[in-house]
Amino acid sequence: MSQDYEMMTSQMNEHEDHIALISQIYPGFYTQIATHQGEPKPRRRRKKNKGGENSQWAVAKKRKLNQEQLTLLELNFGNEHKLESERKDRIASELGLDPRQVAVWFQNRRARWKNKKLEEEYSKLKSLHETVVLDKCRLESEVCKYTYIFYFPNEIILTCKKQIIIWF
């Protein structure tokens, strides 16, 4: 066991020597590796254009769709949830929108549709689960009743006679 320990420590020392040599040649090398291995890279946010010099290249403000546009988009979504390139371009030209805006609207609408379907399925499953739980309780109650009758038949007869006397 001591040989294994000595061999492991000598390998570690050699490894540290290599790291020291490489870090002298390439100063930031190991610090870059450590950040890449340990944690994910932070996401970069897109900078918002506030106008200024390049205001001619600024992205147009987000417009709210009018009722006619929404109605037509909903009708198209009702026919087909997926959007092919030709259809997207046709819808965009009919509505006077950018094809990208139509594509994003369809993507968002599919997400809402999927969530609605999941909520409906959840409600059905929840209702079914509650029904099954009630049936289970009813069956457990019957099992208890019949178990009691099986093991204590004389007590059941006495109880029934008392009820009969009370009823008459």
> What is the domain partition of the chain in residue ranges?
67-137
37-50: average pLDDT: 60
Q: Is the pLDDT of residue 96 over 80?
A: yes
DSSP single-letter state for residue 54: G
Element (H, E) at 21: helix 2-25
Predicted local confidence at residue 146, as pLDDT: 85
Tokens of 141: 């109650």
Predicted local confidence at residue 153, as pLDDT: 72
Condensed to tens digits (0 to 9), the pLDDT of residues 112-143 reads 999 999 999 999 999 999 999 999 989 888 88
Which band of pLDDT confidence, cut at 50, 70 and 90, is reported for residue 106?
very high
Q: How far apart are CA 52 and CA 47, in angstroms?
A: 14
144-159: average pLDDT: 74
Q: Which of 1-5, 55-59, 94-98, 155-159 has the lowest mean pLDDT?
A: 55-59
The CATH class given to the 67-137 domain equals mainly alpha
Q: Are 102 and 91 in contact (CB under 8 A)?
A: yes
Q: Is the pLDDT of residue 91 over 90?
A: yes
